[in-house]
Chains A and B, each alone.
Chain A
Amino acid sequence: MDELTKVVRDYVIREYLEEGDDREITETTPLISGGIVDSFSMVSLRRFLEKKYSIHIPDDAATPQAFDTVKSIVALVRRFQNAELKSA
């Protein structure tokens, strides 16, 4: 598992799973559509990613689909990391 994927997965487990919840969170576990996290609570993840990776995720990209799995979240971060590099 690459570093970015690990960071995202660890954050999701730490921030969203209640104590005693031993569900496995893989790269493709549906988080929002699977009822593990609601879209309202995802705001903290978005803020965490923007701060940690010095990116800005516009509202129209921060959709429930984009935040539904660890894999899709990683893709989102990479997309806006590249955008930041291109505009630099």
Chain B
Amino acid sequence: MAFTDAARNGYRADLEAIKAAGLFKEERLIHSPQWSEIEVEFPAGAKLKKCINICANNYLGLSSHPDVLAAAHAGLDTRGYGMSSVRFICGTQDIHRELENRLTEFLGTEDTLLFPSCMDANAGFFEACLNEQDVMIADRLVHASIVDGMRLCKAMQDTYKHSDMGHLEDKLREHQDKRFRMIITDGVFSMDGDMAKLAEIVALAETYNAMVFVDDSHATGFIGRTGRGTHEHCGVFGKIDVITTTLGKALGGASGGCVSGRWELVELCRQRARPYLFSNALAPVIVAGALKVMDLITASTDRRDKLEWNTRYWRGLLTGSGFDVKQGESPIVPVMLYHAKLAQDFARDLFEEGIYAVGFFFPVVPKGQARIRTQLSAAHEKSHLDAAIAAFKKVGAKHGILGLDKKELMAKFAA
């Protein structure tokens, strides 16, 4: 037997160390569809508790929308349950291509290729399209899936200080000897909720002959006047060479992702990207649901408009109540606590008050940057947010953090 006592004890010691460091994560069991209100069993065996959910990526409230559900049901009936194949063998249905074309039009690109997830899209893209003659220059806060994808690629890796255009320009100048340069950034950064300076990045790319890659997973569907994404918001629609994004957040919340961009790059992914070549095709039920999502978000901007209102309202409530909040415009609103144990205790106390939010700490965010990451949804009503802020204020008062700035918070809870 390979799993010896020594192996077992070693791994158990690793897990105990995570617990001792206050970094252990526990799942809570949700007994209802994803919505602004959910029923939660926590701890295991406890009576179900109704909670306001303020930490989902369900930005447009479409994760359990009746029209999306109906379309998914119809997709099951007409196209079956699973493809039992990778795309290029016998895993491509007409609806896969239809969804790719809809995404191409929505994102303002030349072509799109679906992947099982945006994590897979990011894992596959760089290795498929760049080689040892090239350089990847990434913002230091890009999503973990991009870091993983870059590590798989033989191109040179470099990074620039977060959103620091001067530092990016230095790197572009430094790497003029490479065949291709690719600037890599999130559109909206997932932990802080701030937006990339895409207009400046595109200008630098044009000056220094570089391509631009944007992971817009926390933007597609709701950032920009018509929800096309960060590029629309920043006035550079049609100028991004590669966009990766997910169907697992605003666009229905099931699963799936894509690479969308210059035809040549997308086609290279179709020919070479390993997650595309070796992973099962997206299930027809998900494609059918996503097509209905595309119908809904192109017919009206009502949902993204409501999300925008909810975001402004929630940010105002938090700031007015004395919380240390990362400033920004996106519906990702981090309430900064800095200390991992405080974040865990705060989240647990919020749960007792009927508010579902989760503490984020190392390694999900850097050490000393723990937070409660709140996220707004078009499914939130004003009454939800009013109830949530009452709970936040009660818990904030309990822990004595209201009105404290970063220095004061860090000093109060220093280990």
Interface residues of A (CB under 8 A from B): 16, 18-19, 34-35, 38, 40-41, 43-44, 47
22 contacts between A and B (CB under 8 A): A18-B161, A18-B162, A18-B164, A19-B164, A34-B367, A35-B362, A35-B366, A35-B367, A35-B368, A38-B366, A40-B147, A40-B150, A40-B151, A40-B157, A40-B159, A41-B140, A41-B159, A43-B158, A43-B159, A44-B159, A47-B156, A47-B158
Closest to B138 in A: A40
Is the beta-carbon distance between A38 and B140 smaller than 8 angstroms?
Answer: yes
List of A residues within 8 angstroms of B161 by Cβ: 16, 18
Q: How far in angstroms is the closest Cβ of chain A from B163? A: 10
List of B residues within 8 angstroms of A19 by Cβ: 164
- The distance in angstroms between the C-alpha atoms of A16 and B158, with both chains bound, is 12
Question: Counting chain B CB atoms within 10 Å of each CB, which of A16, A34, A40 scores highest?
Answer: A40
List of B residues within 8 angstroms of A47 by Cβ: 156, 158
Interface residues of B (CB under 8 A from A): 140, 147, 150-151, 156-159, 161-162, 164, 362, 366-368
- The distance in angstroms between the C-alpha atoms of A47 and B349, with both chains bound, is 47
List of A residues within 8 angstroms of B157 by Cβ: 40, 43
Q: How far in angstroms is the closest Cβ of chain B from A50? A: 12
Q: How many residue-residue contacts, CB under 8 A, span A and B?
A: 26
Closest to B159 in A: A41
- The distance in angstroms between the C-alpha atoms of A41 and B368, with both chains bound, is 19
Closest to B147 in A: A40
- The distance in angstroms between the C-alpha atoms of A75 and B147, with both chains bound, is 28
List of B residues within 8 angstroms of A44 by Cβ: 158-159
List of A residues within 8 angstroms of B367 by Cβ: 34-35
Closest to B367 in A: A35
- The distance in angstroms between the C-alpha atoms of A2 and B366, with both chains bound, is 32
List of A residues within 8 angstroms of B159 by Cβ: 40-41, 43-44
List of B residues within 8 angstroms of A38 by Cβ: 140, 366
Closest to B365 in A: A35
Q: How far in angstroms is the closest Cβ of chain A from B326? A: 14
- The distance in angstroms between the C-alpha atoms of A47 and B367, with both chains bound, is 26
The 9 closest A-B pairs by CB, nearest first: A35-B367, A41-B159, A35-B366, A43-B157, A44-B158, A40-B147, A41-B140, A18-B161, A35-B368
- The distance in angstroms between the C-alpha atoms of A40 and B161, with both chains bound, is 12
Q: How far in angstroms is the closest Cβ of chain B from A82? A: 27
- The distance in angstroms between the C-alpha atoms of A87 and B61, with both chains bound, is 65
Q: How far in angstroms is the closest Cβ of chain A from B260? A: 25
- The distance in angstroms between the C-alpha atoms of A38 and B364, with both chains bound, is 13
List of B residues within 8 angstroms of A40 by Cβ: 147, 150-151, 157, 159
List of B residues within 8 angstroms of A35 by Cβ: 362, 366-368
List of A residues within 8 angstroms of B366 by Cβ: 35, 38
